[in-house]
Structure 1
Amino acid sequence: MPDWFNTALVSLKPRRSSLIWLLLAALVILLDLGSKAWISSHLFYGQRIEVLPVFDLVLLHNTGAAFSFLANAGGWQRWFFVLLALVASLVIYGWLNRLQPSEKITALALALILGGALGNLHDRFFYGYVVDFLAVHWNQRYFPAFNIADAGITVGAVLLIWQSFFGKEAQRSN
């Protein structure tokens, strides 16, 4: 086997310091899939339940990406997004696995993104769409519906951006 292949296989083995973050990613996946299953079994497609004046539960299916990007692309986008999520998840896992124990904010961000990516990957692979059910609105202006996986990805991305501008942990670990 080539050296790069053996190196790649070794990097797939989780380091002890990354196990807590992988458990957090698994928790995001479980919360995401559990909430989607519950909503799917209790609401019919398109049904909207007002929880607060600015927040509804609604069962929707998104065949596209964020903001329904490519939702009407004819079906090829399903496998494109499956492949993209697989590659992104492997890259994020590798990055998470190489972090120093002191890089806690970056690890938290990557765990949230990884859990969200794998939660949505599950839906896209098995159903051909992602189940969305959280709807925030002001009067009749609705933000696109989302789910717990999307929230994990968003919070993780914000943490990474914040860390890149204001964090000092990368400087301490070098």
Structure 2
Amino acid sequence: MSRSTSVGQTETSAWRNPFGLALAAYYLVMAVVGLLIPDDVLRANAWARDFSDFMASVVPQIDRITALNIKPDVNRFYFSVLWAGNPILFAISLLLVWDGRKRGYAMWTMPLFKAIGLMSACVVITVCAQWMYWMEDATNRQLRLMLGNTLGRSFWASSVYVFGSALSSAGFVVLFSGWITGYIPRNMKERAR
């Protein structure tokens, strides 16, 4: 009696997921980039100034972070690099979530409104973390910890300010494509049997 394998039966270790490993590697590479940026990067390199100005013209967040005047040169360049790499992060995230249909991720069998509610909560938390007052108050100690020292900027600020948007966007794209194509409803029916 051969029956097709349901989504829930194909769960594997997260460490065997190549897209999860690629996401972790991307995060670590960007953290190392943040650790290696010299304090005078914009003063010493005309190309870095031009690149940062171009990225700031595309992504207004870069100017907002620079305006906080917490290590403005380093943060301006680092966030320019992060946003330039954001399409790569989005693609890795998209592939990670899409691959989840073979690995039994809950969103592939979750009712539509529950999935939208959970993902919307993640988006609200990300947006609030980026734009609420405490993230714009340059006297705030937590903000100074994130933007004022190398470790905070490399490991924490990048997650709060940039990575959340790519991950949330990829999740929404896959969620809606899964419902539009009927893949998620089919999995829900199969799991109910």
Higher gyration radius (CA): 2
Normalised-by-shorter TM-score class? 0.3 to 0.5
Q: TM-score, normalised by structure 1?
A: 0.38
Q: TM-score, normalised by structure 2?
A: 0.35
Structure (1 or 2) with the greater strand fraction: 1
Structure (1 or 2) with the greater helix fraction: 2
